[in-house]
Structure formats: structure tokens, C-alpha cells
Structure 1
Amino acid sequence: MSQHDEKISKDLFEPASLDSSKSEEINKPSLNYWQDAWLRVRKNKAAIVSIVVLFFLTILSLVGPYLNDYDYSQQNAKHSNLPPKVEAFENISWLPFDGTLTKKNGEVYDAYELKGADDAYYWFGTDSLGRDIFTRVWKGTQVSLYIALLAAVIDMIIGVAYGAISGYFGGRVDTIMQRIIEILVGIPNLVVVILMIIILEPGILSITIALTITGWVGMARVVRGQVLKYKNQEFVLASRTLGAGHAKIITKHLMPNLVGVIIINTMFTIPSAIFFEAFLSFIGLGLKAPLASLGTLIDDGFKSLVLYPYQMIFPAIVISTIMICFNMIADGLRDALDPKMRD
């Protein structure tokens, strides 16, 4: 029988039987805003790796100063400018942890044997005063992470509150508050720090006050712009019609819509604050000795970069890693929380 003679059964043309009870069933679980954002962050491998690395560096900054027998301020002039030496790697010549240095003529010598420190192990080497760089690097990392936390807290409290009040009330209140911001923007941070040092002294307190005075201005402007966009929308007008007070409208209705923008801007502010502290320490306006920050360690290492490059390399690697991690996390959060960036 040819294909043309075959008959198609009428049963094939009967409508399929559908279960109307399952027509509106949702198989995919419903996700709230933060669950959806977390799924988007997880797709960003750079952000996830940065979170893990930053967590690891935070743990090291807390326990690192106690992993060996040396204090960050302990000086030993006999052990000055010793190269890195790690007990497990000292016999591996191609690793830079065998305690050897190279002279200008290319001759390699054991610096520990030369200074009678055969039994000592300095994992990152020592500085010109014989202080353990490993301990000082993680002590300095504590300062950088403190600056990061401080910048986040200042943005979250002062910047958000100031910007929300300015944008919500508008009119004369907004005009006066924005003129104050323009005055603060016109004063460079470096001038504020120098004034704080004149009044107080170089140290973490003067840096903290300088960040408190000017560090929140950018966040305040961003929040004000967002509040101006939302305050005349229907959900705010409805809440006002029902008798809600100003504080409730700002905290219960406006703030939840600003959380994404606030988090994103805070994450971008943190690297700038860390760099600001490192810059101040590098030019001599940071912490006073024997306290250490990554900026002061880089400054000390820069002075002997040609002879002992390891003194600058290790703190430079740590601060670069911290700033890259915060930037990668900020990029991931921006893609996840900003509706305009959604695919």
C-alpha cells in the first residue's frame, strides 16, 4: 500500500483532555526581591570569588598578628632587612621564601646566616628596624577594613538620612541643606585632614573625623535624587492621604525602594575610602609609629624598593586585592539590584 492510500485515524483530531484545576498552577517557586537578587549575584563568578577572598582576608587580619611569636611593634636591629623565609619552603630554591638575597653583582647569599639568625623565620621578611612584616601587614589590614566599615556606616547613617530629609521636604529646607553640601564639597578632604592633624595629631582619629565631615556627601546627593523621583508617586501620595506621618513615609515607603541604590553606592565608596587612608599614610599624614597601616607599610617599602622589594610587594598585593574585591562585589550588586541593568 502506498503512502497516499494510507488513512489517518480520526482519533488523532480529537481535542486533548486538559485538567482545568492545574491551568493556573505555578511550578516555579515565587521569589522575593532579595532572593532574586541573590540568584543574580551567584551568576557573577567574579563577585562570588571576591566575597570568598575578602572573607579570607578578614579572617587573616584578625588572626594573622597572632600566628607567630612576633609583635607588630617589636624591634630587633640585628634582624633588620631580612628576606622572607618559610620553614616549609626554605629548601626550594625557586620560591622566594628561602631567606636569600642577591647582590648587585649577581651573587646570592643567605641573609639569615650572615646575621646569625639561622633559627628565625620571618614569613614576609623584616623591615629596616627588624620588625616582622607579616604581623604588620595583617595589623595594617585591620586599619584598612576599619576604614571600609567606617565609610559604610557613615554613608548609611549620615548620608542616607541627610539626603532623604533634603529630598523629601524640598523647598527652603532642601535649598539650605544643598548649600551646606556645596560648601563641604568645595573643601578638599586633604585640607580637612590637615586641619584635624593641627588640632589633634596624626592618627586614626583625625582620619575618622575627616571622613565623618565629608565622606557622606556623595551618598546624600544620590539619595536626594532618588527621593525626589519617588516622593510624588501614587504609593507615597496614598500613604499621605491616609494620614501617615513624614517619618513613616520616609522609613516605611521610600527607604525600601532605595535599598539597592544605597548598597551599590556604599560598595563603591569603600574602595575610595581605603585608598584615601593609604594615600594619607603614604604622604606621612596617617598613623603614627609604631602603628601600621597598609599605606605606611607601602611608604616604608618604597624607600628601599631597589634593595628590598619584598617590603613593599606584600602590603601592595594585600591592599590591591582588597580594593579589587570590593569593586567586583559592587559590580555584582549593581547588576543584581539595579533594575536598569537586568537582562
Structure 2
Amino acid sequence: MPQLNKNTDYEKFQPVKISSHEAEVINKPSLSFWQDSWLRVKKNKAAILSLVALSLLIIMAFLGPFVSGKDFDSQNVSHNNLPPRIQGLENVSWLPFDGMAERKNGTQYDAYEMKKVEEYYWFGTDALGRDQFTRIWKGTQVSLYIAFLAAAIDMVIGVAFGLASGYFGGRIDSFMQRIIEILVGIPNLVVVILMIIVLKPGILSITIALSITGWTTMARVVRAQVIKYKNQEFVLASKTLGASNLKIMLKHLMPNLVGVIIINTMFTIPSAIFFEAFLSFIGLGLKDPLASLGTLIDDGYRTMRLHPHLLIYPAVIMSIIMISFNMLADGLRDALDPKMRD
């Protein structure tokens, strides 16, 4: 115990007297589960940066095709394979927006001056003279549409299937899991080829192919969570009070599954974008004049040595989308999963 000298102020060592009312006052406001989760997400700088990047890309996917004033399918062969050129930046030599192209022997020349083009193409043009800026944002729009649609279908089917399988259990669960095992054993590429044989290549066939086998992961995750919760006290109390099975699943089990569903959906979206790009890259995706990030990357890959801008810009945008979705999903997992709490 510390020794007190003569100069010690003894009043500082007196116990603090607090009334019972003041002791029970809550200084901080109470937070709901979602408010607490949002606070945790805001602490994750990578997740917030990814959310901002995705928001900007989604906005540009819808507004970008109208910014340049050019149609994504309008052809002008006399303006083909023009490099990027932006107003005010064409005189900055160290930026790739000066309209300079390179010949096979390594010499550079002004492609716009040679072809007597007075217009500006911010991301250049392709082999048919179509504006690459408009096509890239139109392709981003199509890729995001396919991914979100496939993720929504996967979420609806997977959640319903996994909820029913885990809740009822027994023979029903065993039968439903055998269906999932059969679907998991079928490669996605085989399903896509079958869909293209039956239907025409396009958004519909790709979406159906992604939806046939894509929901199995969601169903398994939801089933595992339902098995974990269905024997807990709040579910047993609802059964004792006479609640129906549908009411228990929707009112008591679903709120506890929302976090897991959101996290798995966020991981499903980039997987769907990558799969669509892969199909387009091997020639099983969209057909002209429609464009997606996969078809644009495929077109740029063929001429990437002479016209690298056709490959770089769609590849960069696709990489940003993939990385952002995965980092945002990691942030949501850390915020929504109680086991990850710090």
C-alpha cells in the first residue's frame, strides 16, 4: 500500500459516491445487430474502399454508355483500331491518352492525324470502329446483370432447398441431399453446352446454366445452419406454443440465417462474373453486337501486341470488380459472424 506524506490531498482518496439512479444510466445508445455490424464494417478500410469502388463501377455501368454520346454497336470502319485519346490530355506524352499508335517496327505515329479523325475516343476503338468506352461500360452492365440475376436465383432456390432439407431432416433430408450430390457431379461447362444446344447463345442460356448447379453451395450452408438452430430453445418454445412449420422457418430461423446468406451471395457474384467471362473467352458466351467483359477481353487478347488498349481496360475493370467483391465479402463475414468478433 502506498505511503501518504503530509502534502497529500486526502480528498482525492475518498470513495466516489454515486446514487443508484446514476449507476443505472446507460451512457451509450443501444445498437441493433445490423447497426453493430455496420460499425464493424466501417472499421475495415478494405471493405469500405471496395464498397466505394463497386458503387462507382455500378453507376458507370448504367451511365457510362450515355456519356460519350456514341452507341455501343455503331460501326465506323474508317475509325478502326484507334488508340485512346482524351481532350486536354493528348499533349501529355507520358499518359496513354495522346492518340499515338505503334507500328510493328516500333515506330510511333499519330493515328488520329493519319486517318484524319477529329473525334475523341477515350478508350479507343475496336477493329470495326466501335467506341470502346461505350462498349466497356455496356459490357460491365451485362456482366453485372448476369451475375446479380444468377446470384438472386441461387439465393432463392438454395435458401428454400436448404431450409426445408435441414428443418425436416430424416428421409426428406437424405433424399434432398442426394439430389444435390447428383447436381454437384455435373460440370458447369457440360450444362452450358447443353443449354446452348437447346437454346441460342446469350444471356438466357448462361443464366439458366449458372442457376442449375450454382445454388448447391448455398443450400448446403443454409442446411448446416438450420440443423444447428432447429433444436435450440426458441424453436422448441415456438413448437410448444403451436406455431406451424412454415412460421417457424420464416419467422424464427430465417432472421438467424440472413448473415450467412448475404456472405455467400457476395462470394457468388464474382464467381458468376468470372464464369461468364470464361464462357465468353472460349466462344460460348454472348454474340455480337452484345458485349460483356469476357467478350471484350477475348477480342483484346487476339490483338494485344498491336492494340493493347483493347485488352487492358476491360481486364482492369474486371479485376477491380472481382477483388472488390471478395474484399467486401471478407469484411461482411468478419462483421456478421459472431465467431470473428474482436
TM category (shorter chain) comes to: over 0.9
The equivalent residue for 2:181 is 182
Tell me whether 254-263 or 102-111 shows the greater mean CA deviation. Answer: 102-111
- Percent identity over the alignment? 70
Name the amino acid aligned to 1:236.
V
Aligned equivalents of 2:16 and 2:4: distance in 1?
27
Aligned equivalents of 2:56 and 2:7: distance in 1?
72
The equivalent residue for 1:116 is 116
Question: What TM-score do you get using the length of structure 1 for normalisation?
Answer: 0.95
Aligned equivalents of 2:248 and 2:28: distance in 1?
34
Q: 1:28 to 1:120 in 2, by over 3 A?
A: same
The equivalent residue for 2:131 is 132
User: What is the deviation of 1:52?
Assistant: 1.0
Q: Any idea what SS the aligned residue of 1:101 has?
A: strand
Q: Are 2:220 and 1:241 equivalent residues in the alignment?
A: no
Aligned equivalents of 1:228 and 1:331: distance in 2?
24
Q: Any idea what SS the aligned residue of 2:200 has?
A: coil
Q: Are 2:26 and 1:26 equivalent residues in the alignment?
A: yes
The equivalent residue for 2:262 is 263
The equivalent residue for 2:104 is 104
The equivalent residue for 1:298 is 297
Deviation by residue 1:86-120 (Cα, 9 ceiling, x = unmatched): 11211111111111112233321001111121x11
Q: CA RMSD in A?
A: 1.8
Q: 1:248 to 1:5 in 2, by over 3 A?
A: closer
User: What is the deviation of 1:155?
Assistant: 2.8
Q: Any idea what SS the aligned residue of 2:34 has?
A: helix
Aligned equivalents of 1:18 and 1:291: distance in 2?
72
Aligned equivalents of 1:290 and 1:6: distance in 2?
92
Tell me whether 267-276 or 15-24 shows the greater mean CA deviation. Answer: 15-24
Matches within 5 A, 1:162-177: 162-177=161-176
User: What is the deviation of 1:13?
Assistant: 6.8
Question: What TM-score do you get using the length of structure 2 for normalisation?
Answer: 0.96
Aligned equivalents of 1:315 and 1:254: distance in 2?
42
Aligned equivalents of 1:98 and 1:313: distance in 2?
16
The equivalent residue for 2:253 is 254
In structure 2, list runs of 5 or more residues that go unmatched: none
Q: Any idea what SS the aligned residue of 2:119 has?
A: coil
The equivalent residue for 1:339 is 338
The equivalent residue for 1:36 is 36
Q: 1:9 to 1:167 in 2, by over 3 A?
A: closer
Q: 1:293 to 1:20 in 2, by over 3 A?
A: same
User: What is the deviation of 1:4?
Assistant: 9.7
In structure 1, list runs of 5 or more residues that go unmatched: none
Aligned equivalents of 1:4 and 1:329: distance in 2?
56
Tell me whether 209-218 or 309-318 shows the greater mean CA deviation. Answer: 209-218
Tell me whether 106-115 or 226-235 shows the greater mean CA deviation. Answer: 106-115
The equivalent residue for 1:214 is 213
Aligned equivalents of 1:255 and 1:326: distance in 2?
24
